[in-house]
Structure 1
Amino acid sequence: MGEWLKNQLFVSHAIAAVGSVTVATAVTYPLDTIKVLIQVGSNSGKQLTSLQALNRVRSLSGNSGLYSGFGWLTVGKTLGLGARFGAYEILTAYCKDGREYSYVYVSEALMAGMVAGALESLVCSPFELIKLRAQVTSASRVPRSTPVTENRAAAPIIAKLLPGHTPDKKALNHFVTLLSTLTSKHPNLAGALLEYPWMMTGSGKAPSVCDVRKLSSIISLEGWGALWRGIRSGLVRDSIFGGVFFSGWQFMHDVMLNWKAVGMDPIPRSNEEVGSLSPLSVSLAAGFSGSIAAAASHCFDTAKCRSQCTVLPKYISMERSLLRWTRPGNRFERYTGIHPADRNVLFRGLGLRMARSGFASFMIVGSYYLTVNYLVSEGPKKRGSKENKLL
């Protein structure tokens, strides 16, 4: 690792990659927030518009609410895109090995992109979960409740399984009244009900997403596996996105090289003889490919967002595994993680995601090229100035 940090070229590329991802994420993050709210807040009978989502966030959290969870997504995108492009370069290098000319076929780019996208999904999923719940909280009215630690003596199991949550006493008393008509020899029926996790909220329902948005709360209530909730739809989404993105980018790259080679004399025998394309044209091709890839994978993105917006306590997951609970829906929906109730809302927010992915891809590639060219060109100038001073 120390040798890599001493390598100026490696450091320049690392700085350019982190900077380009951060800038692109910062510019396009409000679009992502509105897109998530539309996907989560819409149902088959009601569609949340972009203007309604924007006004709700600004009224409840101000303009800063549009950037709720920005830090988590920036870290996740930096690691995820590094995994995606790194895996793609390794796989395509294996495909080009032994060829006379360094060339990647579109079919090879498709397969390598699908594998790289799946790896990106595994890396980014925990960060996306926390980011999404922060975005939903910014557009939700969070009631102030007394911390459960003040009531630790009365109901210690509540503080252990539902930290920060106060049970609904009115609903709990209603259940006790209904059960009081039955013959019971238990001296304290209400205290006994508090010992059951599904009664701790007073209604039998899981807590709201707004109450389980921090990393410690998620792990405590839902377990470590919750960080990869919706991984089936996430794997399909990112595999399709990566495959379509890299294959489309490679196809347009070949088209632009062939167009540039027209009229050259002598006719070039390989792409290396044509020369490199301008950073603007490469960035535009990446942006267009990102938009097409977002459109092709959007329904799975909606399925994952709606899945991550559901709080599923550990005891419910344990009951489902013991009872061998079967996922609802047909075989395709079960394999891809789509819930049957979400069939009519899978394409909500499509335009926002296409705009965000296209613009982000354009900015990442463009700013990466500009930063690398600047850092690499500045290196020889500084070395030359130092040599002149020594002389």
Structure 2
Amino acid sequence: MDELLNNKTFAVHAAAAAAAVTLGTTLTYPLDTLKVLIQVGSTAGKPLNEAEVLYRVRALSGYSGLYNGVAWMTLGRTLGLGVRFGVYEVVTAFYKDGREDDYVSVAEALMAGFVAGTAECVVASPFELIKLRAQVASASPTMHVPSVSEKGVIPTLPSRLLPRYSMDMKAMSNSMGLLSTLTTQHRHVNMFDALKEYPWMMTGSGKPPPVNNVQMPSDIVSLEGWTAMWRGLRSGLVRDSIFGGVFFSSWQFLHQAMLSWKAVGMDPVPRYDTEAGPLSPIAVTLAAGVSGSIAAAASHGFDTTRSRSQCTVLPKYVTMERKFLKWKRPGKRFERLTGIHPADRNLLLNGISLRMARCGLASSVIVGSYFLAIEHLVSN
């Protein structure tokens, strides 16, 4: 009977958490779309603003384009937050073991948050990549669908790597024009068809296909390989570990400050935090929102790096060539360790206000709706 009751309690909490995450993600997703498009679309000489990005999305995809990829984001965030809070509870359980009071210091919460954020990054990375590609597609021109005659022209190897992509014949003709200066003895008998057999000529220009044409999971795996699902893992690990550490330590600090303030007027003064009683759901909700905004500001530079890395299409043959040539990452030692590209140094703070607003609002909504759902479900 006790086991059945425990399973029912766990199911209630899981359902409340999933509903809270879905609500928080749906309400704040347009802010995330605008933030991502500003991060990946800005250059050092031409930064984008919210109005420009919103106009482009509305013109190409309509307002519904702001929700491209929301299902992937919801699924990834549900699993990621479950791992983050689960790992945090497990780690802090070791800290609280043997103590008379369930007390966790700010430093302990910081270290536990680092571990929890790292675990969350590994789990949520594939969903975040697909979500970001869908968001970029909402601000990109519609992909050209090849006709039946065009499909017959595309050679076997490129068509296997990216089945729904049509080769840019104009770019191929321009490439042929550049090669026309070769002497007859250095030219292939049928150079036009020969070039199309090479995967790096999929676009006709030697460049990878645009990111909006490589957004489906099957296309990503086929062209870029399974490892692409964890692209930008270095910067992602740093971002999520900092976010988790700052979020939980800030929340613990605010939680402790509110408990101390509540205990001031009590007689006798409580010896332990549990004697002061629980805080109101509104206070906990506001503390979560403030902690989310602070954590977003602290980790935003690495979020920009992660977004720009995931927006890059890197075919498998390029990755293989880099491995054979022992390609070294550009930049200083810190940049190589954290995955920051030197060209992105002046772009790291782009979209920081949007991310702070999104993380703060999402944290408040998730925590507040979770407590509301638990109170309603348990009372029933």
Tell me how far apart the structure 1 counterparts of residues 342 and 297 of structure 2 sit (CA, whole Å): 21
**Gapped runs of 5+ residues in structure 1?**
379-391
- Alignment TM-score, normalising by the size of structure 1: 0.93
1:178 deviates by: 3.6
1:303 deviates by: 0.3
Match of 2:196 in 1: 194
Moved more, 303-312 or 263-272: 263-272
Does residue 111 in structure 1 map to residue 138 in structure 2? no
Tell me how far apart the structure 2 counterparts of residues 351 and 5 of structure 1 sit (CA, whole Å): 44
Select 2:357's aligned residue among 350, 355, 358: 355
Is the CA contact 1:4–1:11 (under 8 Å) kept in the aligned structure 2?
A: no
Match of 1:343 in 2: 345
Indicate the percent of aligned positions where both proteins have the same amino acid: 62
1:199 deviates by: 1.9
Match of 2:272 in 1: 270
Tell me how far apart the structure 2 counterparts of residues 104 and 50 of structure 1 sit (CA, whole Å): 40
Match of 1:381 in 2: none
Is the CA contact 1:147–1:165 (under 8 Å) kept in the aligned structure 2?
A: no
Question: For residues 1-391 of structure 1, what are the structure 2 equivalents within 5 Å?
Answer: 7-146=7-146, 151-152=151-152, 155-180=155-180, 181-182=182-183, 183-184=185-186, 186-378=188-380
Tell me how far apart the structure 2 counterparts of residues 4 and 89 of structure 1 sit (CA, whole Å): 23
Is the CA contact 1:148–1:164 (under 8 Å) kept in the aligned structure 2?
A: no
1:151 deviates by: 3.2
What is the DSSP-based 3-state SS (H/G/I as helix, E as strand, rest coil) of the residue aligned with 2:331? coil
1:154 deviates by: 5.7
Tell me how far apart the structure 1 counterparts of residues 179 and 47 of structure 2 sit (CA, whole Å): 40
Tell me how far apart the structure 2 counterparts of residues 175 and 60 of structure 1 sit (CA, whole Å): 30
Is the CA contact 2:202–2:209 (under 8 Å) kept in the aligned structure 1?
A: no
Is the CA contact 1:111–1:243 (under 8 Å) kept in the aligned structure 2?
A: yes
Tell me how far apart the structure 1 counterparts of residues 252 and 51 of structure 2 sit (CA, whole Å): 37
Alignment-mate amino acid for residue 251 of structure 1: F
Alignment-mate amino acid for residue 329 of structure 2: R
Closer/same/farther in 2, CA of residues 67 and 195 from structure 1, 3 Å limit: same
1:234 deviates by: 0.5
Moved more, 193-202 or 314-323: 193-202
Per-residue CA deviations over 1:334-382 (Å, capped at 9, x if unaligned) read 110111101111001001100100011011111111100111111xxxx
Is the CA contact 1:299–1:347 (under 8 Å) kept in the aligned structure 2?
A: yes
Is the CA contact 2:154–2:166 (under 8 Å) kept in the aligned structure 1?
A: no
1:272 deviates by: 1.1
**Gapped runs of 5+ residues in structure 2?**
none
Q: How many equivalent residue pairs?
A: 376
Alignment-mate amino acid for residue 277 of structure 1: L
Tell me how far apart the structure 1 counterparts of residues 166 and 322 of structure 2 sit (CA, whole Å): 26
Is the CA contact 2:246–2:291 (under 8 Å) kept in the aligned structure 1?
A: yes
Is the CA contact 1:148–1:166 (under 8 Å) kept in the aligned structure 2?
A: no
What is the DSSP-based 3-state SS (H/G/I as helix, E as strand, rest coil) of the residue aligned with 1:13? helix
Closer/same/farther in 2, CA of residues 337 and 148 from structure 1, 3 Å limit: farther
Is the CA contact 1:125–1:228 (under 8 Å) kept in the aligned structure 2?
A: yes
What is the DSSP-based 3-state SS (H/G/I as helix, E as strand, rest coil) of the residue aligned with 2:329? coil
Is the CA contact 1:41–1:48 (under 8 Å) kept in the aligned structure 2?
A: yes
What is the DSSP-based 3-state SS (H/G/I as helix, E as strand, rest coil) of the residue aligned with 2:186? coil
1:104 deviates by: 0.6
Tell me how far apart the structure 1 counterparts of residues 346 and 159 of structure 2 sit (CA, whole Å): 39
Per-residue CA deviations over 1:47-66 (Å, capped at 9, x if unaligned) read 11111111111111111111
Alignment-mate amino acid for residue 141 of structure 2: R
Closer/same/farther in 2, CA of residues 149 and 114 from structure 1, 3 Å limit: farther
